[in-house]
Amino acid sequence: MMLLRAIVFSIILLVVFRGASAAEDQQKAAEGMLDRARQLSDIRSPKAPGFRLNLTFSFTGQDLETVKGTYTEVWISNSRWRRETVVGNLRRIEIGGPSKHWLIDSGKEEFPEQAARVSTMVEILPTRTAQFEFESITEPDPATQCAVTKARGEKRQRHAFCFDKDNRVLVQSTTPQLVGERVADYSCNYGQFHKFGDYWFPREMACFLNKHRKWRRRS
């Protein structure tokens, strides 16, 4: 009887250890995909040269009209950069310094939320300090592989990052966004990758809130 219990106990431990090992392998694989995408596309990495990025974007206004704007970023380093977003007669300037961050709005109206997100959305990859606990790696289609995080918090929030299998660049990201009392998926699709200095950067980007288009950009 004691021998039987020992065998059963060993089998249970083996199953648990195998499960833990599979989860660790999945975590490492997901982190590896993110790291590879950073090597290819992170134009703001510590060793990247300075750049000037110009783009146009559009979004749907409150009256369902198409609103157009421009965005310019001059990046020297993580502690020296300037961003300017213009929509009609509204202008937002952001300046990053070694220890301070300045934000200046000009115009009589409130700066549109969709335009305010542009400076964040063009940073297509999460920061290197961001921590994610991945739960699964899926393949929604033959060309794409996605890493999905575990659900967190009372609202079961998840992140997802999808990569092109051949080129290894990030082609879609999904982040949770609080809308009222519920959590919605804010997703961005990236396409038309071209060389931008030593990196591959998307020339087109379209972002959606629960699959409803919020804005589109072109460089």
| pLDDT one-digit tens code per residue, 178-210 | 777 788 888 999 999 999 989 999 999 999 887
pLDDT (tens digit per residue) in 114-123? 899 999 889 9
The count of domains in the chain is 2
Query: Do 146 and 138 form a contact (C-beta atoms < 8 A)?
Result: yes
* Prediction pTM value: 0.81
Q: Are 51 and 30 in the same domain?
A: no
Find the farthest-apart pair of alpha carbons in the chain and give their distance in angstroms, rounded. 83
Q: Are 102 and 81 in the same domain?
A: yes
What is the domain range of residue 198? 1-44+127-219
Residue 209 structure tokens? 């809130």
Q: Are 32 and 131 in the same domain?
A: yes
Q: Are 40 and 51 in the same domain?
A: no
pLDDT (tens digit per residue) in 46-97? 889 999 999 999 998 888 889 999 999 999 998 899 999 999 999 999 999 9
Which DSSP string corresponds to 151-187? PBTTTTB--EEEEETTT--EEEEEEEEEETTEEEEEE
Burial class (CB in 10 A: 0-12, 13-18, 19+), 150: middle
The last residue of one of the domains, among 122, 137, 159, is 122
Q: Are 183 and 100 in the same domain?
A: no
Distance CA 215, CA 106 (A): 22
Distance CA 96, CA 203 (A): 25
Q: Are 109 and 139 in the same domain?
A: no
Q: Which of 202, 198, 66, 47 is nearest to 122 (CA)?
A: 202
Q: Are 24 and 89 in the same domain?
A: no
The last residue of one of the domains, among 122, 139, 161, is 122
Distance CA 84, CA 103 (A): 10
